[in-house]
Amino acid sequence: MQLGMIGLGRMGANMVRRLIAGGHECVVFDLLRRNALGAAGAPASAAELLSNVDILLLPIGEDGLDPDTAARTVRDLEPRITIPVGYDAGAAGQDARLKAFLSAVGI
C-alpha cells in the first residue's frame, strides 16, 4: 500500500518520518518547492509522483491547498482513501475550508 503526502512542512514531514519508520511506503510532494524528484532524480509533478497512491493525505488548511484545488487533485489522482489534514477544527467543529472541500468532493 502506498501513501501519498502533499506538503512537507513541519506537520507533513513529521508524519512522513513516522510512517516510514513504521515500515510504510510514502511518496511526497513539497508544496513550497512546487516540485519533487521522481525516478532517476528527474523533476516530477505532483500528478506524476502521486498517480498510484492508495491513501492521500493533503493539507487544506490556511497553509495548504484551497478547497477547489484539493478537490480537483483528489478527482485527478483517484486515491482509494483521502485524508484532509492541516485544517483548524476549532470550537465550531469544522473549518470553513474543510466544509468547502467536502462539498467540492461531494460529501
Instruction: Tell me how crowded residue 36 is: count the other CB atoms within 10 A of its CB.
Output: 18
| pLDDT (0 to 100) of residue 54 | 95
Q: Going along 1-107, which residue ranges are E strands?
A: 2-6, 25-29, 36-37, 43-44, 55-59, 81-85
Per-residue pLDDT of the chain (107 residues; tens, 9 = 90+): 899 998 888 888 898 899 999 999 998 887 766 545 445 555 567 777 888 999 999 888 777 888 898 999 999 999 999 999 877 776 555 578 888 899 999 88
Give the chain's count of helices (H) and strands (E): 4, 6
Give the pLDDT of residue 92.
Answer: 59
DSSP for 55-82?
EEEEE-STTS--HHHHHHHHHHH--SEE
According to the model, what pLDDT value does residue 1 have?
85
